[in-house]
Amino acid sequence: MGLRFILVLLCCLVGSVHAEPAVSTPHKAYLSLIIDDLGQNLPRDRRVLALPGPVTTAIMPDTPHATEFAREAHRAGKIVILHMPMDPATGPFAWHPELSIEELEKRLNAAFKMVPYTAGINNHMGSRMTAQPVAMAWLMAELQQRHKFFVDSRTSAQTVAAQQAQKIDLASVSRDVFLDDERTEVAIYTQLQIAIDLARKQGSAVMIGHPYPQTLAVLERELPKLKAQGIEWIDIRQMISVRGNRAMNAHGKDGIYR
């Protein structure tokens, strides 16, 4: 009995030495990219359509090529969103806090007519407007009726837009990183790396950039390298699904927008 016990123990020890180590599944790291302020310059904006992946095209309604470029982007298989001007933005479509809900609706309807094929909207400027709870609550309910999503560009820490969207479970997501507040390739590259690091840390990051020559040069050079870096570039609809309408730590607490 003693010898048999020793043999069994040895077999167990040998088996444990040769056992395969547990393999941990790496966390996914997702990036989404929105390019704002489109519709002003067709040759420049077409470089956005040529970027190698699911870029979201945010088109301003008060630009000379808004309708034409929205059609081109749709034909190219890109997601089109309305880049809605909000105070302190100006112009015939811009929302301002002193406007009635009826006037806000009139301007929103006119903007949607200028930019066809829209799947959702994000705010252009809007630091004053996105801080208005009543107007933002109305907008989110309106978007829900229209089956469109909302992207909070977060141009102000006082925004309540995503908070209002979350209250009614409207499909929405918030921006994490602006790529090109400083228009140099070095600064834009640095911001891109910040977005990549953030995606690795929290699982995802939403980037917003503009069709500046410096931004496009960096994106054309660096975006094809994402896959080799373990980063998955997904479209904004997929990002909304990945995040499940939950706020990131920079935007709220325990998934709830502040």
Supply the pTM of this predicted model. Answer: 0.89
Tokens 């069709």 found at: 211
Q: In this predicted structure, what is the pLDDT of residue 19? A: 41
H-state helical runs in the chain: 2-18, 42-49, 66-75, 101-114, 133-146, 161-167, 185-202, 213-222, 236-243
Q: In this predicted structure, what is the pLDDT of residue 190? A: 98
How would DSSP label each residue in 104-159? HHHHHHHHHHHSTTEEEEEEEE-TTGGG-HHHHHHHHHHHHHHT-EEEE---STT-
| CA torsion angle 116 122 95 104 (round to 10) | 60
- The whole-number mean pLDDT for each consecutive block of 10 residues of the chain, a chain of 258 residues, reads 46 42 61 98 97 96 98 98 97 98 98 98 97 98 98 96 98 98 98 98 98 98 96 98 95 94
Q: In this predicted structure, what is the pLDDT of residue 27? A: 75
Structure tokens at 221: 């050079």
Domain ranges of the chain: 28-244
- The CATH architecture annotation of domain 28-244 reads Alpha-Beta Barrel (3.20)
- Over residues 3-53, the pLDDT tens digits come to 454 444 444 444 444 444 443 334 799 999 999 999 999 999 999 999 999
Cα distances (angstroms) measured from residue 186 to each of 168, 180, 183, 207: 41, 10, 9, 17
Q: In this predicted structure, what is the pLDDT of residue 246? A: 96
| CA torsion angle 227 231 236 238 (round to 10) | 90
DSSP letter assigned to residue 55: P
Count the neighbouring beta carbons within 10 Å of the beta carbon of residue 179.
Answer: 26
Q: In this predicted structure, what is the pLDDT of residue 18? A: 41
Q: In this predicted structure, what is the pLDDT of residue 16? A: 40
Q: In this predicted structure, what is the pLDDT of residue 24? A: 39
- Over residues 102-124, the pLDDT tens digits come to 999 999 999 999 999 999 999 99
